[in-house]
Amino acid sequence: MASKVDVLRNSKDHLQRYPVLLNRCHESALIYANCVIRKVNLEKNNCQSAFNNFKVCLIKNVIERKANS
């Protein structure tokens, strides 16, 4: 079982990776953000396609990073 210190250290490591992931997926992130911003009455699934593209990009980059580690 992981100690609280290990959990905090792992969380910190994960948070430090977000800027790298966002940089690698900046185009799909921008498309998703623009979709959300343009909606006057945002409802669930309004930007589902853009969100899915962003999510796929993030997952792809996490997998690539783990493979290169």
pLDDT tens, residue by residue, 23-45? 999 999 999 999 999 999 999 99
Q: Alpha-carbon distance 27 to 17, whole Å? A: 17
Quick one: average pLDDT of 18-22?
86
Phi, psi of 32 (to 5 degrees): -65, -45
Q: Which two tokens stand for residue 47?
A: 């930007």
Q: Is residue 12 part of a domain?
A: no
- Where are the alpha helices (H) located in 1-69, listed in sequence order? 4-24, 26-38, 48-68
Is 3 among the domain residues?
no
Whole-structure pTM value: 0.75
Domain-embedded: residue 20: no
Identify the band that residue 5 occupies on the pLDDT scale cut at 50, 70 and 90. low
- Is pLDDT of 4 > 80? no
Q: Which domain covers residue 62, as residue numbers?
A: 26-69
**Residue 43 covered by a domain:** yes
Name the percent of the chain lying above pLDDT 90: 57
How many structural domains does the chain have?
Answer: 1
